[in-house]
Chains A and B, each alone.
Chain A
Amino acid sequence: MNNRNMPYRLCLLTDFMKWREFSFKRYRKWLLPLLILAAMTEGAAIICGATFGKLEEGLLKGISFLGFMFPPDWSAFAEMVQPAFQSIVIAFLGTVFGTILSVVFALLAAANISNPWVRNITRLLIGLERSIPEIVILLLLIAAFGLGSMPGIIALSLGCIGMLGKLLADTIEELDPIMMESMESVGANKMQIIVFGVLPQIMPNLISYALFRFEINIRLSVILGAVGAGGVGYELDYSFGMLQYHRAFTALLVIIVMIFGTERLSYILRGKIKMEGALK
């Protein structure tokens, strides 16, 4: 039979006819995992109170609600610009201070720079930090410092440690040991090795990780804003709370533009860094 000259719909028909060739033997090993998965799904669905009907209904309701929000309130656009800028600045500062912090942590957590005891303890701290969601850190910081952008920036900086600290520590551990030995042999102390040997080498990786983290921080700053760090996230939450859905839609548009813009920017910059690294 020549399928190639057949229209696509007819191909589907012949496929359907081939179901008769279905052999159970081929799929036997999949049966048990699939059954376990199905049972787990069913159990989880009971706990969540979800059925397929409700799932479909909920998704459709959510989408139709988006239509209800639809004409955005353009007059609120001017009010959104400043909070959006604030959100970006919060994310930027969080990334900068977080990167500085995580370089310190990474140096302490690298096996070829610090001693084993310090290394293990720092690795443990980094792992612990990684498993606390940023929003929990923010809630605690707000309890300590009160509302404002300061707890937001600190929460984002601390949130960087878990990811950047681990990535950078791994990068440092992969550095060429010969370089460090040769610096030591001509009399460099630890500080000089770090400043002139380690930092220049990890710089390209550092910048691209930091840019990646900046993207994440932009998203997080929107969420943190709703909890009380200010910025465009607060405007969004406030509009939802005041039932001003058209205004909320404006905020949503601003957020989407913000996220999309930073993503493009960081993509372009990372491409450039890669190019420069290749040219060297």
Chain B
Amino acid sequence: MNTIEITLPSKKYKRRMTIFSVSAIVVSVACIYMNFNPLGFFAEFHFVRDLLGEMFMPNYRVLADNSSIGYSILQTLSMAFLGTIYGGIIAVILAFLAALNTMPYRIVRVLTSITLSLLRVIPVLVVILIFVIAVGPGVFAGMLTLVITTIGTFGKLFAEIIENTENPPGEAIYSVGASRLQVIRFSIIPQILPSLIANLLYAFDVNIRTAIGLGIFGGGGIGFQLQMAKSVLHYKDVTALISIIIVLVILAEKLSDFLRRKILGDGKLR
């Protein structure tokens, strides 16, 4: 008898199907638990259509009528800038204290590492709520929040960058009589400076986005204006503000890209 061995549902196929069906079941159970119907978005799309109808066309006159909007754009920008600068400086200092090759004392290293890890997991929302109570709502609270979140996001990263530097140059100048601080200055800093600057430019980019979100929780700036316009149901103003936000974020991204290429392009940071 010349039968062909039937290997159809093959092992691989069975395995794939099991994974697929299990994940499908998990997703549907989660949907039922949350009372969420993915098709509901399309079934109730008329709500979105109504809203879009109210939002268009954007009312750019609000820029001329409400003179505080221009100022609040400036506030958001300076909030992000200061958050990046101060947060970056503190993050670099803490990173030097947390890195294995710059800090000889174990206890300091461990304590700073724990602080940095804690700052990393504390969500932005908690920090802004605390600072709004501590210093009152406004741009200053938003700025302090950005300082904290910048330290949290980039402190650990900087410490890793410092630890990943190459040892031989440092050992070479140490062997001819350089002190620890001189090793840091002439071996470690030249190695980490390019990635430090690149990361800080990226941090500015991230902070602009965060700063807009912070305005909604009392951080001031353009996010606050957006929240105000939304709560008085001036949707045409909201559209205008959103378009301004989009332009702002895109410009910040392009600027940070441009500066990164300009500063780091030809390796002149030696």
Contacts and interface: CB of A to CB of B under 8 A. Distances in A.
Tell me what chain B mostly uses at the interface: helix, strand, loop, or mixed. Answer: helix
A44 B81 contact: yes
Nearest to A134: B213
B101 interface: no
Interface string B33-57: 1111110110010011011000000
B202 interface: no
B217 to A, nearest CB: 7
B14 interface: no
Contacts of A127: 250
B34 A143 contact: no
Interface stretch (A1-9, A169-177, A179-187): A1-9
A265 to B, nearest CB: 14
B154 interface: no
Contacts of A8: 104, 180
B143 A50 contact: yes
A233 B121 CA distance: 14
Interface stretch (A73-81, A102-110, A220-228): A220-228
A143 B235 contact: yes
B75 A237 contact: no
B6 interface: no
Contact of A49 (B27, B37, B138): B138
B129 interface: yes
Contacts of A111: none
A15 B183 CA distance: 11
Contacts of A49: 138-140
Contacts of A132: 242, 245-246, 249
B125 A43 contact: no
Contacts of B99: none
Contacts of A237: 125, 129
Nearest to B212: A133
A149 interface: yes
A143 B51 contact: yes
Task: Name which of A18, A45, A131 has the most chain B CB atoms within 10 A of its CB.
Answer: A131
Interface in B202-251: 209, 212-213, 216-217, 223, 226-227, 230, 235, 238, 242, 245-246, 249-250
A92 B33 CA distance: 12
B82 interface: yes
Contacts of B35: 149-150
Contact of A47 (B34, B74, B178, B180): B74
Nearest to B252: A131
A45 B86 CA distance: 11
A149 B217 CA distance: 19
B34 A65 contact: no
B22 interface: no
A270 interface: no
A195 interface: no
A98 to B, nearest CB: 11
Contacts of A43: 78
A29 to B, nearest CB: 8
Contact of B140 (A18, A48, A260): A48
B212 A236 contact: no
B209 A226 contact: no
B131 A58 contact: yes
29 contacts: A3-B179, A11-B180, A14-B179, A18-B182, A41-B81, A45-B78, A47-B75, A47-B78, A48-B75, A50-B143, A55-B144, A58-B140, A62-B127, A89-B34, A90-B34, A92-B30, A128-B246, A132-B245, A133-B245, A139-B226, A139-B230, A140-B238, A144-B47, A149-B34, A149-B35, A150-B36, A150-B37, A150-B41, A153-B34
Interface of B: 27, 30-31, 33-38, 40-41, 44, 47-48, 50-51, 74-75, 77-79, 81-82, 85-86, 104, 118, 121-127, 129-131, 133-135, 138-141, 143-144, 147-148, 174, 177-182, 209, 212-213, 216-217, 223, 226-227, 230, 235, 238, 242, 245-246, 249-250, 253
